Amino acid sequence: MTESGKPFALTAYPLSHQFREQLEQAVGAKPEYLSVPQLRRLGLRGLLSTLARLRGGRCIIPLEDPSSESILPFLQGVAAAALPASIEIVHPDLRHEHVSRLQFLGMTVGLGRASIHGLRSRRAATARLAMLVRAPRIEAAPGSGRRIVSLNGNLWFGVKAGGSLAHTAGVASGFESAGYDVDLIAPFAVPHVPEGVVEHLAQPPKAFAVPTEVNYFRHDDALFELVSRLTAAESPSFVYQRLSIYSHSGVRLSRSLGVPLVVEYNGSEVWVARNWGKPLRYERLAQQAEEALLRHAHVIVTVSDVLRDELLERGLEEQRVVTYPNCVDTAVFDAGRFEPADRSALRARYGIPEDALVATFVGTFGRWHGTDVLARTIHALREEEPAWLEERGLHFLLVGDGLRMPDVEELLGGTQGRFHTLAGLVPQEETPRFLHASDLVLSPHVPNADGSRFFGSPTKLFEYMAMSLPIVASELDQIGDVLRPSLQVSDLPSRGPDHANEVAVLTTPGSERELSDGIRFLVDRPDWRRALGANARRLATERYTWDAHVAAILARLEEV
């Protein structure tokens, strides 16, 4: 815990490992890091207690990503409430800017104006959504030419990483391969997008508003205005939108242009907020936005049978729903792109021995990722079998950040240890390099706490497969279905893998013992590591490419 007078850093989102290192060197201190998602989860009482604890400290506001500048007034407002000794902003280029009283006053005025604008946007959205959830779906006709507009309405700040980015890039790439001109509109640059895709940056609001969730309505209005300008001269063949919190600009665009709407449904954001985070402030409006997208979509694409079943139970017509798992760009995630020197350099960056056997997890440390199960498994191996770990040279590399990171770090005793490395958040484009430096990979996902079926389609699973890596994974809904055929950890073979076609080792979700047994098997059996990795790569290239995913969408769109 931070003592009075100690430095603390307020961030829009968790910082990448590399930027944290640069920041700490630049400011000459290692501050306590607090991100906006963490502050939101504290609640009023927890927030006040935290601010009291930070009182009198040196406040640092690092901006790793230029888009985070819009949240500065909010961060400075939180900082001021802690009565710090000083407030300084550190820009992406590590330039320092001390905040004067006059500057703070100006930003406070901007915050007030933005908040008034946000309330107006919310009122307009309330009226619009009330109409849309009652209005019938239009009879749409494709626009002329082969051009589509792809919308990502998420309002994100900070370093961009995670499966949603891979999905956005993959679908855009698939449409481009199918012969479409793609205009991709998002509030950030998307890694691994092919050159033929034209990206348009939907800038987040220049000044943040409170309550914070009204910024979603402001952003969605700006998104609709941007796309309206882009399509003024020529209507697209259809509009594609990823379902996002409060966003319904795709419906507005489809209705105004008279073209079909394709909605990407990865699960209810209302459910996610309620079960994996904090309930939304305007939950009814969020529900109406989701209902509007699903009601007016001509095709809805889901990534799992669980999500398809959910949509059918909600009354959606089966002919409007197409299901295809997440996929992977097998050209980007290809071990053949890298040299042995790349593997050595990444290991050296984190102090991992050149001859270590590296077991890697990549993810956003959400409730569903099972990082707490993995951390307890590592802790148990370290406490009970240090000699075995030392003899085998086993080292665990955990890449990412998120909700569960503080728990994992506390359990393992810091970000770096004899048998583990917590690499933190890394840019999406760096993920293949980390996987190339690995010998086996882990997918310890756990069931939903409320007893509902696991509806995910983890993108990292397919990236593991494409990189020819042996996998230990939870046998959990689609994860188990994709990784067929596989070895069961309860019946691991003593034979060699001659003519074997298995692609992974499957464990009971949440079982630390089975996860440990699966890891031990792969550590001790290099022959099975090679066989499973090769089989997984072959399955990924045959079945789980974005071209195949998009082909299923286009076929269903043609039908309806």
Specify if 350 maps to a domain. Answer: yes
Supply 73's token pair.
Answer: 């007034």
> What is the distance between the alpha carbons of residues 57 and 68, in angstroms, rounded to a whole number?
22
Give the pLDDT score at 158.
54
pLDDT, one tens digit per residue, over 312-371 is 999 999 999 999 999 999 999 999 999 999 999 999 999 999 999 999 999 989 889 999
Give the pLDDT score at 355.
96
Q: Which of 99, 131, 163 is the last residue of a domain?
A: 99
> What is the distance between the alpha carbons of residues 426 and 434, in angstroms, rounded to a whole number?
9
Give the pLDDT score at 333.
97
Residues 509, 438 share a domain: yes
Specify if 49 maps to a domain. Answer: yes
Give the pLDDT score at 161.
61
Q: What are phi and psi of 519, to 5 degrees?
A: -65, -45
> What is the distance between the alpha carbons of residues 413 and 37, in angstroms, rounded to a whole number?
23
Residues 455, 355 share a domain: yes
Contact 536, 464 (CB under 8 A): yes
Residues 291, 171 share a domain: yes
For 83, the domain range is 8-99
Residues 414, 463 share a domain: yes
Indicate the residue type of 443: S
Residues 500, 358 share a domain: yes
Give the pLDDT score at 380.
97
Region for residue 56 given its phi and psi (left: phi exceeds 0; alpha: psi -120 to 50; beta: otherwise): left
Contact 192, 333 (CB under 8 A): no
Residues 197, 273 share a domain: yes
Contact 521, 505 (CB under 8 A): yes
Residues 425, 502 share a domain: yes
Give the pLDDT score at 467.
98
Residues of the chain where predicted confidence (pLDDT) is lower than 70: 1-5, 44, 67, 70, 101, 104-105, 107, 156-161
> What is the distance between the alpha carbons of residues 303 and 315, in angstroms, rounded to a whole number?
18
Contact 359, 441 (CB under 8 A): yes
Domain count, the chain: 3
Q: How many CA atoms lie within 13 A of 190 on its CB side?
A: 29
Distance set, CA 410 to CA 113, 129, 333, 367, 384 (Å): 41, 44, 32, 16, 19
Residues 397, 252 share a domain: no
